[in-house]
Amino acid sequence: MKSRVKVAVVTGASAGVGKEAARALLQQGWRVIGVGRDPARCAAAEAELTALPGADFTMIRADMALLVETARAAREIAALAPEIDALLNNAGGVMAQRIITAEGHEATFASNHLAPFLLTQILLPNLLAAAAQSAPGSVRVAAVSSTGHEHCAGIVWDDLIFTEGFVGGAAYCHAKLANILFIRELARRLDGTGVVAHAMHPGIVASNFASHCDAAMQAYMESIADRALTPAQAAETLVWLASDPAPGQSSGGYHYMREAVPCSAAAQDDAAAARLWQVSEALVAGY
């Protein structure tokens, strides 16, 4: 089998865990395409990462709260990289207030779940193209979820835009549950293709993650700051999911500190995972 440079796509690559995952993969000799939102952070990260010895790094700007931007970025990536070996859906965040996007979605659910769902759908042919030239399990999709998913009893099917009683932290936990359910159904659908899918909890991370949180969430993050990992430490599990042989032996898992760990009962609901896929497909249709 002819050897080729492996390609990773990393969302949220302009700062924090995403930037450190991109750095680590570049240092392993991968080609990396990053996606980021903030123009200044994107420019700074691109300058920093392209300066690494031998680095092949490209940054694409997109606001992943908007499906039209996510779809544009996905098509740019697809054109740049016909074969993708790892798609790391890392971008996400918490909103202090209920924001409905111009497309009619609640911004937390849109950026944390609908965007990676759409990005993965558009890039799936590129992942499958890489899998066709690779050993089974070598091509990976990873989602950055959170132990926050444990605080959500289930998907709020009848009110995905949180018309009543919006709480930023609760909306975030809801989206993180959606991440694991998405990976669960994706793994089922990709069984036998050579592409595997996993979710992970990065830990408590010292980053700009909570900068848009409400006061209660910011206070909570501050209270546990002494236990925080650096972004580079948190990125280790994401890089491991992309590049280590071990995660290629299974699919549909949930990981922390490079170990498979249990997720909540709600996150193991196969019927909910299948239903979320259908609902998400309908919401991203046309993009």
Q: Is 129 exposed, middle or buried (0-12, 13-18, 19+ CB in 10 A)?
A: middle
Dihedral, 178, 183, 186, 192 alpha carbons, nearest 10: -160
Catalytic residue flag (residue 172): yes
Which of 172, 220, 256, 287 is catalytic? The answer is 172
Distances (CA, A) of 175 to 146, 147, 178, 249: 10, 12, 5, 27
d(CA 159, CA 37): 27
Contacts 24+ apart (CB under 8 A), 280-283: 280/113, 280/114, 280/117, 280/182, 281/121, 283/105, 283/114, 283/160
Q: Which helix (H) or strand (E) holds 180?
A: helix 168-189
Q: So which residues are the catalytic ones?
A: 172
